[in-house]
Amino acid sequence: MNAIEVRDLNKSFGKVQAVAGLSFFARQGEVLSLLGPNGAGKSTTISMLSGLIEPDGGSAEIFGHSIRAEPQAAKARLGVVPQEIALYPDLTARENLIFWGKMYGLRGAALAKRVDAVLETIGLNGRQRDRVGTYSGGMKRRVNIGAALLHEPAVVIMDEPTVGIDPQSRRHILDHVKALNRAGATVLYTTHYMEEAAELSDHIAILDQGRVIAYGTHAELIAQSGGLARIDLTLNVEAERVLPAWRSVPGLAHLDVVDGHVTALVDDSNALLPRLFELATQAGARIMTVDIREPNLESVFLELTGKALRDEA
Amino acid sequence: MKVLILTLKDLEQIVNDRKSLLFLVVMPIVFTFFMGIAYGGSTTTADTRLRLAWISADPEAPLAQRLFERLAGSATVNPVRMAAAEAQTALTNNEVAGMLIVPGGFGVEPMAAQPALQLVADPASVSGQTLYRTVQLALTEWLSSAEIARLSVAAAPGEDPAQTWQIAFDQAWAAWGEQVVSGRVRVEQAVAIASEAPFGGNPYNQTSPGILVQFAIFGLVSSAQILMQERKLRTLQRLLTTEMRPWEIVAGHMLAMFAVVFGQTVLLIALGQWALGVDYLRDAGATFLIAIALGLWVACLGLLIGVVARSDDQVVLYSMLAMFVFSALGGTWFPLEFAGGVFAAIGGLLPSAWAMIGFQNIVIRGQGLASAWAPAGVLLAYALGFFGLAVWRFQKVIG
């Protein structure tokens, strides 16, 4: 049985269709990342899976329990880490964890044991008696995650848990997700950071405009895009002066201009770059900067949608 | 169980907030005293009777002393012994409402004709007329007793006249005193007699329940903000991802608000009972019933404000609006009887007015549990209405 099974899920807000016939699944014990820019429908999907909002149509199941027909049974197996910090700032970390533990049905010695274990895991034992309101953003994020893990849920849903935090806390969180997964939890992880999706995931579903546009392992997705490298260039003149010439170059799969920056997807950057320099010189333009990225999820997204992941992030 | 855990969490947050304690505990106590003083009494034992200067040319006369004691025992006059010059000054300075001059020889020779007393007071004023009626009544009783004594002496020629006169006078005088106490009409079936003195003779009978109701509503600021914070901090959304059902979340918050309002009400009732002489415990069951109903109504109103408001500022605005409307129109600042007909009629529709009626039935009108059912019923009906609106709105908010 799949840990998460989503079929043809739909949700509209007024005239805006946030989720449009979304389908995906997560096998038990794997990390599945939903990757997409802001507005792709990731958070709406998470909200529907968590029981926060009702889908307009379709179905979603957690270990076979429908989120619509059996919401309590589905929620009992879920630990949700919301995108925003959802803690009481005037309570200490320990008090917060005790409260949320009780909300997940833990009591007495079992609760105390789990609170101690989670504090150890998130590395906040030393400051457990301090009010959360006095913590840094990264520390709050860690408590935010810890609160969802107290009842050792079979499925952990994490909605962009690393947004707006320092690199050290981000590293801590990513390591923690891996540890969770090693301990047997199924993790549904949403992000618009392709590096995180690449590092953490067994499978990745790329979302755009409320639907899955690609699904597979990291390697499968790279292969789907044809293994194209991405080259970002800036010129000393308007890009339109060189674009006609560049578009005729064999091996250049995609060419796009955003805010004067030229993005190209190419099959062999070493072979192609000299030709691009040559054509620029002939057009009276000078290439000022060049940034080459080997094939990655961003280039996959660019290939599939014609736009960059972070343009909308 | 989870409902109670949520309630306890809310209460912990309220107790941790010192500003809340200021609004919930300190301010109502201070305002109760302040408003009590403003309504005319700094203590419940102050003598509010009209001061009457008693000027006696023969202070040792025992029968004149009887008249003095009778006046001192009256509900309206407080006689104070003074010398003539002192009394004149006190009257000029409005320190006394009048002066009674008792001439020499009054009450010295019982069986002799008595010289006339002289009352000096403004006959056009209410206080002067009151003094006149009270002195006239006491003097009539005195002269009547003396006449009865004289007739008794005449009817018993063989007896010692002085002794017979004294015994008859004492019995008649005592009988007049009992007449005043017992009254001549017995009421078989009626509600308790309302005191003719304002607020049952104790201004705190108005201000204590008034401030109690007003600050119960004002306490909404603290309790509604807890729900507002729950939404702002996104913990409400997190709660909804647990197994808790929406109605359990609403109930948990509502119970916390109820506990806050009820706790505050109990505190102010205790203050009124033991420090201000407001007899809430005349019927503890009735007081308890009104306090419970008041707590539920205010808690449900707080819940509605917490759900409807979109920011902390709106919580304060709506709470203040509710407090002013329900307090002013509901008779918590001044009795609705003092207001005009239309004002009183509108105010009488409000739950705050019914809370006041409930408490005042107990502390001013001396009524019991039977009088509390109607006000409590109205308050509970309002509570139910507000709760329904809050739940309906809550579904929209989380949807």
CATH number of the domain that residue B94 is part of: 3.40.1710
Report if residue A24 sits inside a domain.
yes
Q: In chain B, pLDDT over 90 holds for what percent of residues?
A: 16
Distance from CA of B249 to the nearest CA of A (A): 11
Query: Per-residue confidence at B297, pLDDT binned at 50, 70, 90?
Result: very high
Indicate if B166 and B284 belong to the same structural domain.
Answer: no
Indicate if A26 and A123 belong to the same structural domain.
Answer: yes
What is the phi/psi pair of residue A81, to 5°? Answer: -105, 105
Report if residue B185 sits inside a domain.
no
Over chain A, what HEC string results? CCCEEEEEEEEEECCEEEEEEEEEEECCCCEEEEECCCCCCHHHHHHHHCCCCCCCEEEEEECCEECCCCHHHHHHCEEEECCCCCCCCCCEHHHHHHHHHHHCCCCHHHHHHHHHHHHHHHCCHHHCCCEHHHCCHHHHHHHHHHCCCCCCCCEEEEECCCCCCCHHHHHHHHHHHHHHHHCCCEEEEEECCHHHHHHHCCEEEEEECCEEEEEECHHHHHHHCCCCEEEEEEECCCHHHCHHHHHCCCCEEEEEEECCEEEEEECCHHHHHHHHHHHHHHCCCCEEEEEEECCCHHHHHHHHHCCCCCCCC
Please determine, for residue B328, whether its predicted confidence score (pLDDT) is greater than 80: yes
Of residues B38 and A100, more confidently modeled: A100
Indicate if A180 and A246 belong to the same structural domain.
Answer: no
Cβ-based contacts of A75 with chain B (< 8 Å): 241-243
Query: Per-residue confidence at B235, pLDDT binned at 50, 70, 90?
Result: very high
Indicate if A75 and A105 belong to the same structural domain.
Answer: yes
pLDDT in tens, A201-251: 999 999 988 999 989 998 888 887 677 788 899 999 998 899 999 988 888
Judge whether B238 is closer than 8 Å to chain A, CB to CB. Answer: yes
CATH number at residue A251: 3.30.70.100
Indicate if A204 and A254 belong to the same structural domain.
Answer: no
Please name the helix (run of DSSP H) or strand (run of DSSP E) that holds residue B286, with its range, or none.
helix B284-308
Cβ-based contacts of A100 with chain B (< 8 Å): 238, 242
pLDDT at B48: 67
Indicate if B37 and B55 belong to the same structural domain.
Answer: no
Indicate if A214 and A238 belong to the same structural domain.
Answer: no
Counting one residue from chain A and one from chain B, the pairs whose CB atoms sit within 8 A come to: 62
Interface of A with B in 130-159 (CB under 8 A): 147
Indicate if A151 and A251 belong to the same structural domain.
Answer: no
Q: Are A255 and A243 in contact (CB under 8 A)?
A: yes
Residue ending a domain, choose from A222, A238, A273? A222
What distances in angstroms separate CA B250 from CA B247, B380, B389, one per listed residue? 5, 17, 12
Contact A52 B398 (CB under 8 A): yes
Cα dihedral B37→B39→B40→B46 (10° resolution): -70
Judge whether B2 is closer than 8 Å to chain A, CB to CB. Answer: yes
Cβ burial of A167 (10 Å; 0-12, 13-18, 19+) is exposed
Range of the domain at A66: 4-222
Residue A8, sorted as left (phi over 0), alpha (psi -120 to 50) or beta, turns out to be left
Closest in B5, B241, B399 to A75, CB measured:
B241
Indicate if A164 and A270 belong to the same structural domain.
Answer: no
Q: How far apart are CA B236 and CA B247, in angstroms?
A: 12
Report if residue B115 sits inside a domain.
yes
Closest in B233, B234, B244 to A103, CB measured:
B244
Q: How far apart are CA A111 and CA A102, in angstroms?
A: 7
Query: Per-residue confidence at B225, pLDDT binned at 50, 70, 90?
Result: confident
Lowest mean pLDDT segment, chosen from A17-31, A171-185, B325-339: B325-339
**Nearest residue to A82 (alpha-carbon basis) of A129, A176, A31, A145:** A145
Mean pLDDT calculated for residue range A106-113? 94
CA B321 to chain centre: 26
Indicate if B251 and B356 belong to the same structural domain.
Answer: yes
DSSP letter for each residue of B74-133: SSSEEEEE--HHHHHHHHHTTSSSEEEEE-TTTTTSTTSPPPPPEEEE-TTSHHHHHHHH
Cβ-based contacts of A96 with chain B (< 8 Å): none
Range of the domain at B145: 50-180
Closest in A54, A90, A99 to B16, CB measured:
A90
Interface of B with A in 3-22 (CB under 8 A): 5-6, 9, 12-13, 16-17
Q: How far apart are CA A66 and CA A63, in angstroms?
A: 8
Indicate if A209 and A122 belong to the same structural domain.
Answer: yes
Domain count, chain A: 2
pLDDT at B182: 44
Judge whether B84 is closer than 8 Å to chain A, CB to CB. Answer: no
pLDDT at B181: 47
Please determine, for residue A277, whether its predicted confidence score (pLDDT) is greater than 50: yes
Closest in A78, A84, A103 to B5, CB measured:
A103
Indicate if A59 and A92 belong to the same structural domain.
Answer: yes
Mean pLDDT calculated for residue range B20-36? 73
Lowest mean pLDDT segment, chosen from A67-76, A204-213, A231-240, B89-98: B89-98
Domain count, chain B: 2
Please determine, for residue B205, whether its predicted confidence score (pLDDT) is greater than 90: no
Judge whether A69 is closer than 8 Å to chain B, CB to CB. Answer: no
Contact A104 B244 (CB under 8 A): no
Report if residue B358 sits inside a domain.
yes
pTM for this entry: 0.67
Indicate if A73 and A101 belong to the same structural domain.
Answer: yes
> To 5 degrees, how large is the angle CA A154–CA A157–CA A161?
135
pLDDT in tens, B49-85: 788 999 988 877 788 888 888 888 887 788 999 998 9
CA B82 to chain centre: 34
Residue ending a domain, choose from B180, B213, B241? B180
**Nearest residue to B303 (alpha-carbon basis) of B198, B220, B371:** B220
Contact A50 B234 (CB under 8 A): no
Cβ-based contacts of A48 with chain B (< 8 Å): none
pLDDT in tens, B331-364: 888 777 676 677 778 878 899 999 988 988 888 8
How crowded is residue B20: how many other Cβ atoms within 10 Å of its Cβ?
A: 19
Report if residue A114 sits inside a domain.
yes
Please determine, for residue B365, whether its predicted confidence score (pLDDT) is greater than 90: no
Judge whether A102 is closer than 8 Å to chain B, CB to CB. Answer: yes
CATH number at residue A182: 3.40.50.300
How crowded is residue B124: how many other Cβ atoms within 10 Å of its Cβ?
A: 7
Report if residue B193 sits inside a domain.
no
Indicate if A9 and A83 belong to the same structural domain.
Answer: yes
Indicate if B65 and B22 belong to the same structural domain.
Answer: no
Residue ending a domain, choose from B111, B146, B180? B180
Please determine, for residue B190, whether its predicted confidence score (pLDDT) is greater than 50: no
Indicate if A166 and A235 belong to the same structural domain.
Answer: no
pLDDT at B185: 45
